[in-house]
Amino acid sequence: MVAPGQQSANPHRPSEILDTLKRLGFGVAIAVPDSWLGEILVRIEQEPAIKLVRATHEEEALAIACGTRLGGLRTAMFVQNAGLLSMGAGMVSLAQRYQFPLLMLVSYRGTIEDPVFYHAPKGRVTEPVLKGIGLAYALADRNRPIGPQVERAATYAEEASCPFALLLSQEDVQW
Amino acid sequence: MVKAIRPGRADYYQVLADTLPQHALVVTALGNASYLWAAMHHRPENFYFEDAMGLALPLALGLAIAQPARPVVVVEGDGAVLMHMGALVTVGAVAPGNLTVLLIQNGVHAASGGQALTNAKLDLAALARAAGIAGAQNVTTPEALAAAMGAPSDGAGARCLVLSTNPDPEVVRPPIAFDPVLTKHRFMSAIGAPRYVPTMFGGGRLQHD
């Protein structure tokens, strides 16, 4: 593990995310597009060990992810934070109620780092909503390697038997 | 399409119980879809929904992806599929040959007491075909369901059978506890799913025993 403040061995953070998922044995990724996520999803699609499923809506993606995890596959989700806002009912009544461990890798739009102004309303309410629905989450630290952060998020999901959302910046996830 | 005289859910469930392959996995939607199936054919390989309306179909899709060697059957309602119609498109795109979708078309929101659907007369089989599930068909009798279940899958994609059904708004009391975590663990144990070995025991991975 790289100590805080040091550079990762792989400074390209999106490829470090992908390498970490492969190393941890993730077998499937369920995704709904966001412009920051576009290329990493294409890269996942090219990986023989990880199946990519493109869903039409984030709550649907959440249910597909519960099904793949129920069937024994370690499962990651790639969604924008807008999707966290729209999947609330399924989160509490399915994923949390049945205690499905899911790693949610979330493009965190609408922060002050985001140049696209219309995402701001979503950025402003994302963390209060996550706290409100009791979804465990963390903000990725851009000054530390991203791979160990993804691994800790995945570990938390499994060992606490719940979904865990890691909120990612543009440089974390845009290839 | 909804007909004037229709079989009941139990009539179709008896056919399902009689034709279900031994190693099949069954996902049932909320309400009587789960309660009645538990009463008629409880087994560990059943995954029962209690709530989360509209999400049984996408969960079953994920299960079919993860368990490609097993047939997966999902019982979903017409009201539920209207809530998440996009899931039909995803099923059509993924095209899992081991997934059978049984869509109960009773024309009402039965789980909430029989309230009206937004549109009770849609041709849901045509809708499923348009979504990419090529062989979707309407079924109006238990005999027709038995014939469809007995027909070999062409493996080219999911099957979708829309079952014209009489509404059953009276709630069936299930014979077992519907503890959701118990349901999940019982199911995963029955299919031999790998378990997570925690980091402190030298794991941090999913492992088969």
Could you tell me the residue ranges of all domains in chain B?
9-178
Closest CA to A57 of A98, A86, A92, A81: A86
Say what the pLDDT of residue B1 is. Answer: 52
Phi, psi angle pair for A58, to nearest 5°: -70, -35
From the list B50, B63, B86, the residue facing A67 with the nearest CB is B63
Chain A residue closest to B88 (CA)?
A: A56
Say what the pLDDT of residue B80 is. Answer: 96
Mutate to test the interface with B, among A158, A161, A162, A164 (most CBs of B within 10 A): A158
Phi, psi angle pair for A22, to nearest 5°: -65, -45
Closest chain A C-alpha to B207 CA, distance in angstroms: 10
From the list B49, B84, B183, the residue facing A60 with the nearest CB is B84
Q: Hey, are the CB atoms on B52 and A93 less than 8 Å from each other? A: yes
Name the DSSP class of A96. I
* Whole-Å CA distances, B16 to B9, B20, B37, B39, B208: 11, 6, 10, 13, 31
Say what the pLDDT of residue B4 is. Answer: 60
Residues A16-69: tens digit of each pLDDT: 999 999 999 999 999 999 999 999 999 999 999 999 999 999 999 999 999 999
Domains of chain A from N-terminus onward: 15-106+126-147+159-173 (3.40.50.970)
Name the DSSP class of A93. I
Q: Does position A2 have pLDDT exceeding 50, yes or no?
A: no
In angstroms, rounded to a whole number, what is the distance separating the alpha carbons of residues A67 and A50?
Answer: 16
Q: What is the ipTM of this complex?
A: 0.96
- The tokens describing A41, both together, are 């999803």
Residues A64-76: tens digit of each pLDDT: 999 999 999 999 9
Q: What class does CATH assign to B9-178?
A: alpha beta
In angstroms, rounded to a whole number, what is the distance separating the alpha carbons of residues B113 and B30?
Answer: 13
With 0-12 / 13-18 / 19 or more C-beta atoms within 10 angstroms meaning exposed / middle / buried, residue B4 is exposed
Q: What's chain A's average pLDDT?
A: 94
Residues B77-100: tens digit of each pLDDT: 999 999 999 999 999 999 999 999
In angstroms, rounded to a whole number, what is the distance separating the alpha carbons of residues B51 and B59?
Answer: 13
With 0-12 / 13-18 / 19 or more C-beta atoms within 10 angstroms meaning exposed / middle / buried, residue B46 is buried
Find residue A79's DSSP bridge partners: A106
- The tokens describing B25, both together, are 């996995």
Q: Does position A5 have pLDDT exceeding 60, yes or no?
A: no
From the list B63, B86, B206, the residue facing A70 with the nearest CB is B63
Name the DSSP class of B175. S
Q: Does position A7 have pLDDT exceeding 80, yes or no?
A: no
CA B9 from chain centre, in angstroms, equals 13
- Containing H/E element for A120? helix A120-133
Q: Hey, are the CB atoms on B180 and A98 less than 8 Å from each other? A: yes
β-strands B99-105, B205-207 pairing: unpaired
- Model-level pTM? 0.96
Place of tokens 């909320």: B30
3-state secondary structure B33-86: HHHHHHHHHCCCCEEECCCCCCCHHHHHHHHHHHCCCCCEEEEEEHHHHHHCCH
Give pLDDT < 50 ranges for chain B: none
Residues A130-159: tens digit of each pLDDT: 999 999 999 999 999 999 999 999 999 999
Mutate to test the interface with B, among A70, A77, A99, A152 (most CBs of B within 10 A): A70
A with B: how many residue pairs have Cβ under 8 Å apart? 131
* DSSP E strand stretches across A55-162: 75-80, 102-107, 136-139
* Whole-Å CA distances, B57 to A6, A124, B173: 45, 33, 23
